[in-house]
Amino acid sequence: MNKKVYIGLGSNLGNKSKNIQNALDFIADIEGVNINKLSSLYLTAPWGRTDQDHFINQVIEIETDLSALKLLYHLQDIEIKLGRQRDGKWGPRIIDLDVLLYGEEIINLEELKVPHPYLLERLFVLIPLAEINSEIQFPDGSKIREVLSRARALKEGNDIIKL
């Protein structure tokens, strides 16, 4: 059975737009994955660790018959192929691929947590997520509009620019 899955893409090293495009090309080549929708690209301030360059972020909607873990392993392989180095939490990266939502499932494994643990706080994924599905409902029953409104109220300044 196919699942609707949302993936966050981010890059803040090198040619950021090309890194995102390269990741999309690799994702499109995964057997059992179809890319349905792509958000616009967004220029965003770093989150968590702010002493680094701005990111370009995007969210995509895919449909897949792959298990959540098998999809995660494919995404991690893509990160490695594109040169990702894991140098500390929230550090600079050539590419970052995160499973944000996997159908309506809640997954709590050591290697994968879905919904993504910081999803409800991160405007850089909430805004593009709302762009591609303004009616999305999270597994806890909350709707994207409510979550986005709360996250915007907590965020000072406007550090997200649609490209």
For the chain, domains (ranges, CATH) are 3-162 (3.30.70.560)
In the annotation, is 49 catalytic? no
Number of Cβ within 10 Å of residue 91's Cβ equals 16
Q: How far is CA 31 from CA 8, 28, 132, 160, 162, in A?
A: 19, 8, 23, 33, 31
Active-site residue, from 84, 86, 140, 145: 84
Q: How far apart are CA 58 and CA 155, in angstroms?
A: 19
Residue 36 has a pLDDT of 97
Active-site residue, from 65, 98, 122, 140: 98
Active-site residue, from 29, 65, 87, 96: 96
In the annotation, is 145 catalytic? no
Residue 121 has a pLDDT of 81
Which parts of the chain sit beneath pLDDT 70? Answer: 1, 48, 50, 86-90, 155-158
In the annotation, is 96 catalytic? yes
Task: Locate 43 and state its tokens.
Answer: 């220029």
Residue 156 has a pLDDT of 54
pTM of the model: 0.91
Residue 89 has a pLDDT of 64
